[in-house]
Structure 1
Amino acid sequence: MTTTPTGGTPEYDPFNAPAPMPAMPEVGPPTPFPKPPPISVLAKVSIVFGVIAALGLGSLVAWGISQSGRFATVEAGKCLYLTDEAGGGQSYTTASCSSNRATFRIDDVRPGSSECRGSDYVQFELYGSSSSKRAEKTLCLALNVDSGDCLRDVVHETRIAKVRCTDIGAEARAFVMSGSSADCLSDDTELRYIGPPARTVCLRPTGENI
Structure 2
Amino acid sequence: MRNIAVIAALALVVSGCSLWTEQPGVGECAKVVDLSRDDAELTKADCSAQEAVYKLVSIERGVTAPCPGGDYVEETSARNRKTKRKTRECYALNVREGDCLKQVGKFDTKLACGTGTRKVTKVVDGKANRSLCGAGDDVKTYDKPPTTICITG
Q: Using structure 1 for the length normalisation, give the TM-score.
A: 0.52
SS in 2 for 1:185: coil
2:132 aligned partner:
183
- Structure 1 CA distance, aligned partners of 2:97 and 2:111? 13
- Structure 1 CA distance, aligned partners of 2:85 and 2:31? 20
How big is the shift at 1:200? 0.1
CA contact (8 A) 1:81 1:104 kept: yes
How big is the shift at 1:91? 2.0
Q: Aligned AA for 1:116?
A: C
Unaligned runs of 5+ in 2: 1-18
The reply to whether residue 116 of structure 1 matches residue 64 of structure 2 is no
| Aligned length in residues | 132
Q: 1:9-24 maps to which residues of 2 (within 5 A)?
A: none
The reply to whether residue 164 of structure 1 matches residue 112 of structure 2 is yes
SS in 2 for 1:186: coil
Q: Deviations over 1:161-189 (max 9, x none)?
A: 21222x33323334201211251000111
Q: 1:48-197 maps to which residues of 2 (within 5 A)?
A: 73-84=23-34, 88-112=38-62, 113-127=64-78, 136-152=86-102, 154=103, 156-158=105-107, 160-165=108-113, 167-178=114-125, 179-181=127-129, 183-196=132-145
SS in 1 for 2:132: coil
Unaligned runs of 5+ in 1: 1-67, 206-210
Q: Using structure 2 for the length normalisation, give the TM-score.
A: 0.69
CA contact (8 A) 1:80 1:92 kept: yes
Q: Aligned AA for 1:121?
A: Y
SS in 2 for 1:93: strand
- Structure 2 CA distance, aligned partners of 1:185 and 1:175? 10
CA contact (8 A) 1:115 1:123 kept: no
- If asked which structure has higher relative contact order (CA below 8 Å, sep 6+), I would say 2
Q: Per residue, is there more strand in 1 or in 2?
A: 2
Percent identity over the alignment?
A: 26
The structure whose Rg is larger is 1
Q: CA RMSD in A?
A: 3.3
CA contact (8 A) 1:100 1:161 kept: no
How big is the shift at 1:122? 1.3
Deviates most, 180-189 or 81-90: 81-90
Q: Deviations over 1:101-159 (max 9, x none)?
A: 11111111111451111141112112389x9xx5642111111101111112x25234x
